[in-house]
Amino acid sequence: MSSRRRIVVALLVVAIAGFAAALAGSVHAATKAGSTLVIWTDVNRYTAVKSIAAAYEAKNPGVTVDVVQKQFGESGAGTIGGDLATASVANAPDIINAANDWTGQFAANGLVVPIYLSASQEKDFPAYTLNGFSYGIAIKHLYGLPVSIENIGLVVNTSEVAVPKTFAQLTSEALAWKHKHHTKVGIAVQQGSGGDAYHMYPFFSGLGGYIFGRNAAGNLDPSNIGVANKAFLKNSKLIDQWNSEGLINSAVDSSTAQSLFTSKKVPFWVTGPWNSTLLESSGIKFTVIQIPKIVDPAVPFLGIQGFMITKYASQHGVGALAQDFVANYLTKPANQLALAKAIGRYPASITAGKSDHDKVLAEFGRASTGGVPMPNIPQMNNVWTYLGNAWVVSTKGPGATKASAAFKSAAHAIAEKIG
């Protein structure tokens, strides 16, 4: 290494050490001054956050953590996101409970600030969970600390069918069951008249579909719409086949899908961890897996929830304290596990996940492998309806639209909306 390069490296080390010392000093100073952190969270996590906050107060005499309960939501009066957008400085929170797909809008509006994790802290989170909370035009920053993951998986009634290792086996078993028992579908996956692009995503990704591509900087590119890309269109004939065979049908809504599985009329159900309690009390012997690879891996959408630091923390004089609470305290595996368990989800922390002995949640967690975080840029709002409708019209049974035409139409409509 050249002497000049050694000097540069040394200066960087000193600068980083100085930043860390300054941050620690700022936290200590804020503690001595008797500061208050205000956290907004929802009813499901309120008790867990209160407990964690109390433990933090005990470790940091002079600090008060005020936990306020709000509805979990991105917009609307009374919700975390809605009230954040209209809050005065005096009434605003320093930290909020949030979903990863709020990131782009909140960051673009300047409502939240970056969170800084060390390299060792980052290693305790799958890259896709961090990507879900990352946003930037030229340079990406992390705007949220992941806490829990939710995604759908394939629930298999193991008393009735073998756990499929390939999609061909899944199709064969599902259709054989359908023909033998004269059911309407072979796989219970919810759509309904309004469509459900979220539940259909593994089928979409498994055929080569994607929502937005990424630019050279690695950021989501809303001009690169993959809803009707060449690879997907080439594979879309499989959708027409599924429709004609009755493997899936868009008339099946949430309650119908649930009823089909719990009444043992269908041995396969695509659902998420929000139905864990129902599954465990159903009396059915089951396991949860990721839908097997179709042409490509049939990975699910990932909903990632966590905590963000608002711009108001620095205005309240507690910016360093908020960073310490989120980056250094909420990253602790025990706290990650407590927050994830509070809402019946699998923890984002790899270490915490190893301590989660809930078999069903662990299976859903494994079904998330390689998943795609729900796009966190504002343009995603223009996708849901059109993508969901493409599935509705192409899997409605007799009279269905050819899948290639349905998804081309959806891609065109999305591009027009995005402009």
Q: What is the pLDDT of residues 177-222, one digit of tens each?
A: 999 999 999 999 999 999 999 999 999 999 999 999 998 878 899 9
Structural domain containing residue 346: 3-143+303-366
Dihedral-angle region of residue 195 (phi above 0 means left; psi in -120 to 50 means alpha; beta otherwise): left
The tokens of 250 are what? 């868009």
Question: 156 pairs with which residues across the strands?
Answer: 268, 287
Tell whether 232 and 264 lie within a shared domain.
Answer: yes
Any domain includes 64: yes
Tell whether 165 and 223 lie within a shared domain.
Answer: yes
Tell whether 124 and 58 lie within a shared domain.
Answer: yes
Q: Identify the burial level of 131 via C-beta atoms within 10 angstroms of its C-beta, where 0-12 means exposed, 13-18 middle and 19 or more buried.
A: buried
pLDDT reported for residue 405? 98
What is the DSSP code (8-state) at residue 328?
Answer: I
Residue 3 has pLDDT above 60, yes or no: no
Residue 23 has pLDDT above 60, yes or no: no
What CATH number is associated with residue 7? 3.40.190.10
Tell whether 18 and 117 lie within a shared domain.
Answer: yes
Tell whether 67 and 114 lie within a shared domain.
Answer: yes
Which pLDDT tens digit goes with each residue over 124-159? 999 999 999 999 877 889 999 999 999 999 999 999
Average pLDDT of the chain is 92
Any domain includes 353: yes
Which pLDDT tens digit goes with each residue over 76-128? 999 999 999 999 999 999 999 999 999 999 999 999 999 999 999 999 999 99
Tell whether 215 and 260 lie within a shared domain.
Answer: yes
Tell whether 188 and 199 lie within a shared domain.
Answer: yes
Any domain includes 265: yes
pLDDT reported for residue 366? 93
Any domain includes 162: yes
Q: How confident is the model at residue 322 (pLDDT cuts 50, 70, 90)?
A: very high
Q: How confident is the model at residue 33 (pLDDT cuts 50, 70, 90)?
A: low
pLDDT reported for residue 191? 98
Tell whether 167 and 269 lie within a shared domain.
Answer: yes
CA 308 to chain CA centroid, nearest Å:
15
Tell whether 272 and 413 lie within a shared domain.
Answer: yes
Any domain includes 148: no
What is the DSSP code (8-state) at residue 329?
Answer: I
User: Which residue among 322, 343, 366 closes a domain?
Assistant: 366
Tell whether 138 and 157 lie within a shared domain.
Answer: no
Count of domains forming the chain: 2
Helices (H) and strands (E) in the chain, counts: 19, 16
Any domain includes 247: yes
pLDDT reported for residue 207? 98
Report the Cα–Cα distance between both ends of the chain, in Å, rounded: 50
Listed residue (336, 387, 376, 401) closest to 108, CA to CA? 376
Tell whether 139 and 169 lie within a shared domain.
Answer: no
Any domain includes 349: yes
Tell whether 171 and 139 lie within a shared domain.
Answer: no
Any domain includes 161: yes
Q: How confident is the model at residue 332 (pLDDT cuts 50, 70, 90)?
A: very high
pLDDT reported for residue 20? 41
Residue 1 has pLDDT above 70, yes or no: no
pLDDT reported for residue 216? 83
- Of residues 23 and 256, more confidence is placed in 256
